[in-house]
Each structure stands twice: as C-alpha cells, then as structure tokens.
Structure 1
C-alpha cells in the first residue's frame, strides 16, 4: 500500500516537491495550497483522514501546525536553509553585485544565517533578518523589507513566502524567492520512507489492555444475590468479548473482575484515535483500563499493570497508556490528558531533595507543557491530577521550600472568591 502524502505549501513550492515525489513509487500525493496563514489549520482539519504523513513546504506551516497540536500523523517540513538557501544565494551572487549585509531575509532563523556567513568565510554578523514568529503577518514582512530598501540599507530582499514575494513585486522591491532544492526534497522524502517503515514496525508491537471493574459500583444498597452479581459480570464480559473482536485481539480472564486483551499497538492506536479517546464511552464508563506497550508479552503485561494502577488513581472508567519508552499518557478522552515520562535525571534529583515522587513531578511538568507556560495555581494542579486542593497545596509548598517554586502573582477567575496564587515552577533548574 502506498503512503498517502499530504503536501502543504504555496503553489510554486508544491510544484517543485510534486515533480520530485512523482519519481518515488511509494507516495500518493495530496497537494494542499495555502495563500494566507489562516488557511493552514482548516486545511489540516479537512484532510486529516486522507493522509498518512504530512510534508510542509517551509517552516511557517510547520510551526503553525505544531502550535495547533491537532495533527495525529507524522509531520515533516523542508527548512529553507542548507541546500535551498545556498541555491538562492548562488543565483544572487552570479547575477547581482551585492554584499551579504545588503540583503534582507525573512522566515529564516538568525542562527541558520549566521552559520551560512561562517561557512562562506564572512566575518560580519547578519544585519537584516526577520525570523517567523507565531502571530506575524505577511504584511509585516513586506513592510520590513520595503522600509530597509526604501532607506537604502539594502539592495534586495530574500523571502521564503509566496505572498511576501507578490507584495514586494507590487512595491517594486528587488527580491529572490527561496524554493526547495532537489537534494533537500530527496533527503526529506527518504527520511519519511524510513519513518513510515519504523511506524509499521511499531504498530506491530504487542499491546495488552488490562480491564478492571467493580460489579457493585453504582448499584443500590439493597442486597443482591450471587446470581444477580454473576449476571452483571457476564454482561460486562460480553461487552469485552465484542470489543476484543473489534481490536482483533483475544480476551483472557485474569482474576475476579479483571480481564486482559492481547492485541497490537496499531489496532489500539486506531481505535483510540492515536491514544486520545476511549471507544464507546457509554460501554466502559465503569471499567478502568491500563494499556501496556512492550517488546515482549511480559513487558506489555508489566506496563499494562502499571497503567491500570495509575488509571485507578483517577477513578473508575479511566484509561491510561504506558509505552515501551517509559512515557505515560492519559486519562484518555479527558481534557486533563497529559503526557509524561518516568525517566528524568533532573526530576530524580528533585525527588530526592523533596518528599515528592518522580511520578508526581513528571505529571506537574506535563501539565505546564500542555498549558505552554511555567506559571500555575494549586487549583489547576488539583484539577489536572484529580487530587484534593490541600494535596495540591502541599506539593507546591514543598517545591517552594526547596526553591523550585516561587509566587509570581495572583488570578481571580471568580470576583466573589479569594484570589489564587500563581507560582512559577522550575524543576529542571532552580
């Protein structure tokens, strides 16, 4: 089966990429054109089910997709540096009498351009570089180049964006457009082939789901006969048998109220929408589940048990996943879902210095990463970790005593309530 490759970029960039990708028999390309940055996320949403991998022409759509966070498939981008940038500079120096510091650049990292200067033996620092940042507009980049050219600080502009090229053209500013070089495209396509093969191997990994339910959960306090309890357990068993067929797995009894399903990582990835949701929530609302991924049946079972223990901390009906690289994700299907790792030398050191476990510290770091900030309140900690507010205060107080947390402000989401203290957490370094 061929790889369904989504190509996202401007028209001229996609033409270059498609011509080269057509030489590979492994790809079926789906071109997605964008002209404004507001187009990128809707294009990703519309075509999410039509592609196996994404290739972005340039850094701009790549950064926007990363910030959005809704792409489930592997994503790659063609950076406008290396061969692509050298190709443009060679064309400039062959046809123009201009110095490097008489050129303005956009959407290129300063560090990348500095590396180019160094490799070309230019002692000066780059002067006119405008890297792309989230929130920037094409008009700002056009104006940046125009002001430098109009005041005779530069003689021409180098842009990585088609819309900026068109704007400069209308203003009469001399320009060059960076387009993907063949070597850059071929290198990226080959990397994507290797990644696809690796994902296929990962999808074949052994996966175990460990289910546990309480047959008395949610029932009235009236006495139930053993026959009634048995019928309730049989009802849950039938649901799990049907589920096991859906994931092409086998169901085994593992003790009173506990079952295991052996299947593959790929089947669970699909049925949980890349480990983000629970299938048929109404059927599993009282059944906790731990998913374990491993390189052997023993390792998968060990990880499934650890995932189930973590799930039970969040309450019945919770699903957690423990991967073979010691990372954990969950609770699936909840807005509080976070990803964290049990392996961290820095957090082990913090754990030894405080009374907090590495697991708790990992969860705290994952919450801050999810929210894209280092400031947090005890209320948020309690909400995400599903713990009591006083337990969350204890965690932050312990970090504050050891210098890993400090008060930086207050927030008052409820005008009638008491303001909440905001803490800046720095676990990797004081």
Structure 2
C-alpha cells in the first residue's frame, strides 16, 4: 500500500452503498472509491478498472463478496458487511408491528434459522419462523426471487424479507410485497475497524523480506557469429549489470547462486508494487532489457528470509514448467499464482489439507489438483473435456485424459456425454469434475 491511508473500493447496491460510504468517510485512515452495481454479472467488470487503485474492497453483502472472492482476480483483501440482527430489527418493525404481518407469514433469506429465532426472542415475538432460504456464498437474484414468489403465490406467505437488492427489485417488478434489509451502522463500523487493523498488519508485512530467484541466458543476446569465450563473458557481465540496476530499483541485494542463476533479496512491499500486486512483470527500464534473457523467475513470500527463499525456489520450478520467460509467485499461505503478465492466470493451492487428502486417493499430486481446482473456478463450470484441460494446464491431451481417468477412478469425476468438434473427428468425452 502506498502512503498512510488505505484506498478502499466500495461496491454495493444503490440503497446500501450510501449508508456504508457515510460511515467510511468518517475515518481519516480511509479513502473510498464507491461503485454501484445493478447486476451480479457486472461485478468483476466494475472492479477491474480500479484494480491498480485500491488496497482493499468492501462489499455491501456476501453475494458480491463471494463472486469477487471465487474469481480470484482481486489479489487484495476482501470484506463484506454482514446482515446482523440489528439490520433485521428495522425491517421486522416495519413488517410485523406496522403492517401487522405475522412472522409465520414472512419468508426470509440469507440468515440462518437459529439467528432469526434468537432475534425474535429478544424482541419478544413468540411466533414460529417457517420459511428461510439460507445460502453460503453467492446466489442469483432470480433464484432468491423465485423462492419467495413461489411461497407467496401458493398463499403460504404475505411478504418477503430479503437482504439482496437485486432480488428485491425482481420481486417489486412482479408486484410482490417485499421488505429490504439494509446494513446496520454498527455492522459497518465493526468491519471498518477490521479493515483498518488489516491495513496496519499489511504495512508490517510489506517490510518483510521477499526473495526473487531468476535464471538468465546471456547467450540469447549474442549474435550467431559471436561464440568466443571472451564475448560470452562480456555478455554475462552486461547481464549482471542489468540485474544490479534492477536490484537497486527494488532496493534489494543480488547474490549469484550458480551459472546464470541469481537471487535478489528485497521487501515484500517493493515486489508487490513492482508487479502491480503480483499481476504483471515489472515494467521498469532496467527489467525491460532483460526480458529476452530471462529463462524463468520465481518470487517467494514467507514469514522469514529462509522461508521466502524456499518459496522462491518453489515458484521458480513452477515457472520453468510453464515455459521460457514465465514468472510465478509462491505465497506464505501455500498458494501459487501466475504466470505474471499473462491474460490467463491461475491462483492455486498446494498446501491445502483437503487437496492432500484427495491426492492420497489418486495418483495425482496436490499441485495438479490445486491447478485443476483453480481452473474450474476461473471457468465457472465443473464440466470439461481433455483437450480443454490440456490447454489450460499446458500439457498434452493424452496427459489430460490420464488425469481425468484418475479422477473418474477415484469417484471425483464422471463422464456425462460426448462432443464432436470436427465433423470427421473422434468424439471427445465430457467429464463433470467434483472438487
């Protein structure tokens, strides 16, 4: 993060965003960038233009938060304002006391059943809660609206209570009685305090040591006619000089660890800034001259210098797998991201306990399973065929087929059909994967 203040992206519905923004603007530690959304499908497109300008995101509810989190695109801390009991009090006052609608004739969403019952007990309302649509993560406005509408149409309810603005608008459109739960000021203040504490922690993290491991090939910069040992030695010196200039740019120190391999010790914050939050290859003048010579680069983030160096080596090996010139990052939470600078990047886990357990039941590594999990999340579907998997993993189709067969044998995938991309070609099996 740059400066003392936290640049906070605010993304929410038109009616909840002003409430959140009013609280955020009272804190001098925060500078906010408000964005209104009207359709969940637009959330990622609305976030992308601000990707380089914000240090964190705060969402008005768990649905937009879940969409952003599952995409893996943000690369910065994400938060949302939970709909607490205080949020529901005002809505119940309007529906139950003002409009005299029995609680048993109301349908709710988002909240857990026990949470609503406790709130009613505190409010002195002794009526059963019959209809609640609780969900984890994201959900479409249409699905929520359909749940409430079906109950209302069947005469089981007289009105709906929803936490999702887009579902609220859907129900209003069809003329159904609906009440909207807005965020409570106390809930916003609580999450803002968490954001500020997170900002303080990240500033400490930015000062931690990070390690960059690079392999270069000086021969790339030589002409085909220049093969004398003296000329090659001169090229290696020039390459080292370029690396020293880049090292100075990131305020680090350079160490040679073998022929053509170097390690740069710098800070987490410097590398984060140089790579735009671990998304791109550094664009500094010193690094530009080295692009053609870089064979692979791994960036390691760890809690100690030793751990960061181990992580850098791990990222370096993954970069070599992706091909010449690839840059990868290994984080201290057991995840790997990259290749940096590429349009199609994946962020996958290699230290996940669940993946380790799955790996024990197959002949696949946690790395392969982590990559597959990230690919499915990015594609937004759990159905694919071998050629698609091969393209995403940058492996041969026969290797992709072997992976799918391993998953099928372990009960983690099933063949659900075939597709024929070419009129005369062999049909390709389509698999549904359960990760």
The alignment's TM-score, normalised by the length of structure 2, stands at 0.81
Deviates more, 1:275-284 or 1:235-244: 275-284
Task: Report 1:17-32 matches (<5 A).
Answer: 17-32=20-35
Work out the CA distance in 1 between the residues paired with 2:176 and 2:372.
50
SS in 1 for 2:238: helix
SS in 2 for 1:51: coil
CA contact (8 A) 2:142 2:167 kept: no
Work out the CA distance in 2 between the residues paired with 1:36 and 1:395.
37
Q: Is residue 318 of structure 2 the alignment partner of residue 310 of structure 1?
A: yes
Task: Report 1:340-355 matches (<5 A).
Answer: 340-355=348-363
CA contact (8 A) 1:104 1:158 kept: yes
CA pair 180-242 structure 1, distance change in 2 beyond 3 A: same
Work out the CA distance in 1 between the residues paired with 2:169 and 2:432.
44
Work out the CA distance in 2 between the residues paired with 1:355 and 1:85.
50
Task: Report 1:42-81 matches (<5 A).
Answer: 42-66=45-69, 70-81=73-84
CA contact (8 A) 1:64 1:134 kept: no
Task: Report 1:29-428 matches (<5 A).
Answer: 29-34=32-37, 40-66=43-69, 70-105=73-108, 108-109=109-110, 112-113=112-113, 115-117=115-117, 120=120, 124-127=128-131, 136=141, 141=145, 153-160=156-163, 175-217=178-220, 224-280=227-283, 283-287=290-294, 288-426=296-434
Cα-to-partner distance string for 1:248-302 (whole Å, 9 max, x where unaligned)? 2222222211111111122222222222222247742441111111222222222
CA contact (8 A) 1:159 1:178 kept: yes
Cα-to-partner distance string for 1:139-197 (whole Å, 9 max, x where unaligned)? x94x9878876886544443446677678789886654322212211111111112212
CA contact (8 A) 1:291 1:320 kept: yes
The alignment's TM-score, normalised by the length of structure 1, stands at 0.82
CA RMSD, Structure 1 to Structure 2 (Å): 3.6
Structure showing greater relative contact order (alpha-carbon pairs closer than 8 Å, 6 or more residues apart): 2
CA contact (8 A) 1:286 1:316 kept: no
Work out the CA distance in 2 between the residues paired with 1:377 and 1:129.
34
Cα-to-partner distance string for 1:205-250 (whole Å, 9 max, x where unaligned)? 2111011123345867667111221232233223322322332222
> Can you give the 5+ residue segments of structure 2 that lack an aligned partner in the other structure?
none
Work out the CA distance in 2 between the residues paired with 1:169 and 1:348.
47
1:120 Cα shift? 3.2
Cα-to-partner distance string for 1:3-29 (whole Å, 9 max, x where unaligned)? 223333345433332333344332233
Work out the CA distance in 1 between the residues paired with 2:189 and 2:72.
27
> Can you give the 5+ residue segments of structure 1 that lack an aligned partner in the other structure?
none
Work out the CA distance in 1 between the residues paired with 2:91 and 2:304.
50
CA pair 399-296 structure 1, distance change in 2 beyond 3 A: same
